[in-house]
Amino acid sequence: MSLLVTGSIGIDTIKTPYSVRENCLGGSAVYFSMTASFFSPVRFVGVIGSDCPFDLAEVFAGRDVDLRGLEIREQSKTFRWAGTYHEDMDDRTTDHVELNVLAEAPPKVPDEFKGSEFVFLANTAPILQQQLLEQIDEPVFVAVDTMNLWIQQYLDDLTALLEKIDCLVINEDEARILADQQNLVKAVRKILDMGPSVVIAKKGESGSIMCNTDGDIFILPAFPAEDVKDPTGAGDSFAGGLMGYLAQTGRTDFETLKTAVAYGTVLASFTIADFSLDGLTSINRDDIDSRFETLKKMTSF
């Protein structure tokens, strides 16, 4: 089934205890599309400025990523982000950010994309996410990512969006802030009352927890990683694996969602093993399936 993503394309500068990488390719839509394309064709909607040094057609060469939704704005500049990861890699400081095109009107969804059945609205202002969602005719399953900035400063917009979606993907700290509840299970259940039928709370190296409105709960640890070089994009890679698998199967029942979460976990583990997209461009579907089976064996008893 058809899968659409809309999100950022970024120029990142990343510092970790391992190394420093300047002006490398990043952005939520990029990581998502790279991982989702292992499972399903991806319809890509995003915007860059004329200063973008990356040829996305070349980046996605050989992958089924349709770039007809990519806008290049000649008078604008591309989103830029610089950050530093500290020793435990869960602790990150944003050193510099330039919203640039992300502070402008959202890109237009091409007519050919408006019938998309699976939709992922990557992290951006909730009012922009709503405007993008309004351009899709009758999606079957809509998932959304968000962050603490939108929760704290644009709660009304986010609350309105939650009433229109099927799944919220959020990290555990953001879930607690959104629900105003410290217990994570209670926080997730409170968010379910806000509208989505599924909530997935990411817990970093501790894995994730998924709950639905039927009362089902699924907990999965992260894949044990010996080397973590760059966590940037791990959450978007998780979402890409999740949504790519759902679009491949065309199902959203809880058992399918559990498998999708496991694939998302596996893709995130490849992402963090190297900088930018390097951990993803060096693997194939056999590598993913092999690690999926390893994760399955490690978590069954």
pLDDT for 262-273, tens place per residue? 999 999 999 999
- Flag whether pLDDT at 171 surpasses 80: yes
pLDDT for 127-157, tens place per residue? 989 999 999 999 999 999 998 888 999 999 9
Under 8 Å between Cβ of 107 and 8: no
Strands (E), the chain: 3-6, 10-15, 20-26, 42-49, 65-73, 79-85, 92-98, 118-121, 141-145, 167-171, 198-202, 208-212, 217-220
Higher pLDDT pick, 241 / 1: 241
pLDDT for 66-92, tens place per residue? 999 999 999 999 999 999 998 777 778
DSSP labels, 235-275: HHHHHHHHHHHHHHHT--SHHHHHHHHHHHHHHHHHHTTSS
Phi then psi for 183, rounded to 5 degrees? -70, 120
Phi then psi for 228, rounded to 5 degrees? -120, 105
Give the full edge-to-edge strand order of the sheet including 10-15.
20-26, 10-15, 79-85, 92-98
The candidate with the shortest Cα–Cα distance to 78, out of 119, 126, 24, is 24
pLDDT for 27-49, tens place per residue? 999 999 999 999 999 999 999 99
- Distance (Å, whole) CA 214 – CA 86: 39
- Flag whether pLDDT at 53 surpasses 90: yes
- Distance (Å, whole) CA 16 – CA 261: 27
pLDDT for 181-230, tens place per residue? 999 999 999 999 999 999 999 998 889 999 999 999 999 999 998 888 99
Give the residue extent of every domain in the chain. Answer: 3-299
The listed CATH number (1.10.10.10, 2.30.42.10, 3.40.1190.20, 3.30.160.60) that belongs to domain 3-299 = 3.40.1190.20
- Flag whether pLDDT at 125 surpasses 90: no
